[in-house]
């Protein structure tokens, strides 16, 4: 009886493994999509973050540099908005932000808001890019994303040396730095997209 149960279990496991291997074999493009993202991220400063944030969208990105850049921008915009909301909430909790640091945090929230505007404009423009205005639009997008990165760096610099409790400082610094790193990666991918000698089809 026990032997029969084991045989049935082994057969079931073999069937599952066979189906799994068949699915992998029938989707060779999945591996090529992942490899495309890995290769593209090798040109960024924060490669591991780039790969980790974009690989989950491999099926959507495929090997399209415009979709890759747009997805990177979208991820960055969402993270920046989330960070902004977090900082606003923290600034409203009594005692969370020391009085002598409140001004710097308020300034940081303001420049992060400016960063959000720049990233949103970049996404909107990239979504409407055409062959006829490719270089002009790409120039605008590169300028705006660079400005967003500058705003984020300004936020980090403005908080340096300010009195903050350990938890608050760690939270703010971690989120701001992640946003800055995502923005840096997005800019690198945008620059790579723009590097082609011929404007790609929309």
CATH number for the domain harbouring residue 19: 1.20.140.40
Q: Tell me, yes or no, whether 84 lies in a domain.
A: yes
Q: Tell me, yes or no, whether 135 lies in a domain.
A: yes
Domain housing 92? 2-194
Confidence of residue 167 (pLDDT cuts 50, 70, 90): low
Q: What does DSSP assign to residue 200? A: P
Would you call 161 exposed, middle or buried from its count of C-beta atoms within 10 A (0-12, 13-18, 19+)? exposed
Q: State the pLDDT at residue 24.
A: 41
Cβ atoms of residues 152 and 175 within 8 Å: no
Would you call 173 exposed, middle or buried from its count of C-beta atoms within 10 A (0-12, 13-18, 19+)? middle
Residue 181 has pLDDT above 90, yes or no: yes
Helices then strands (H, E): number in the chain? 8, 0
* pTM as predicted: 0.80
Q: Tell me, yes or no, whether 34 lies in a domain.
A: yes
pLDDT average, residue stretch 170-178: 84
Distance CA 51, CA 48 (A): 5
Residue 30 has pLDDT above 80, yes or no: no
The rounded mean pLDDT for the chain is: 82
Q: Tell me, yes or no, whether 127 lies in a domain.
A: yes
Q: State the pLDDT at residue 76.
A: 97
Reduced to 3 states, what is the DSSP secondary structure of residue 1? coil
Structure tokens that stand for 39 in this block: 């290769």
pLDDT average, residue stretch 72-87: 95
Q: Tell me, yes or no, whether 199 lies in a domain.
A: no
Domains: count for the chain: 1
Q: Tell me, yes or no, whether 97 lies in a domain.
A: yes
| Range scoring the smallest mean pLDDT among 15-24, 25-34, 109-118, 130-139 | 15-24
Cβ atoms of residues 119 and 90 within 8 Å: no
Distance CA 4, CA 156 (A): 65
Report CA-CA distances (Å) from 129 to 53, 56, 84, 170, 193.
Answer: 24, 25, 28, 39, 12
Q: State the pLDDT at residue 196.
A: 64
Find how far residue 66's CA is from the centre of its chain: 15
pLDDT average, residue stretch 119-129: 91
Residue 116 has pLDDT above 60, yes or no: yes
Q: Tell me, yes or no, whether 201 lies in a domain.
A: no
Residue that is written with structure tokens 């790609």 in the block:
200
Q: State the pLDDT at residue 112.
A: 94
Residue that is written with structure tokens 């409140």 in the block:
102
Q: Tell me, yes or no, whether 202 lies in a domain.
A: no
């Amino acid at each position: 009886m026990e032997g029969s149960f084991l045989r049935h279990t082994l057969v079931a496991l073999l069937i599952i493994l066979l189906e799994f291997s068949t699915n992998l074999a029938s989707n060779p493009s999945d591996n090529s999509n992942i490899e495309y993202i890995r290769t593209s991220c090798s040109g960024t400063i924060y490669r591991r973050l780039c790969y980790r944030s974009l690989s989950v969208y491999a099926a959507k990105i495929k090997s399209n540099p415009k979709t890759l850049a747009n997805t990177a921008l979208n991820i960055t915009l969402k993270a920046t908005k989330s960070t902004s909301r977090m900082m606003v909430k923290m600034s409203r909790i009594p005692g969370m932000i020391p009085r002598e640091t409140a001004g710097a945090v308020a300034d940081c929230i303001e420049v992060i808001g400016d960063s959000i505007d720049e990233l949103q404009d970049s996404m909107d423009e990239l979504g409407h890019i055409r062959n006829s205005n490719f270089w002009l639009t790409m120039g605008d997008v590169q300028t705006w994303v660079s400005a967003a990165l500058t705003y984020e760096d300004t936020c980090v610099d403005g908080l340096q040396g300010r009195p903050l409790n350990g938890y608050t400082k760690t939270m703010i610094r971690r989120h701001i730095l992640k946003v800055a790193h995502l923005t840096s990666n997005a800019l690198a991918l945008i620059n790579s997209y723009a590097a082609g000698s011929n404007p790609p089809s929309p």
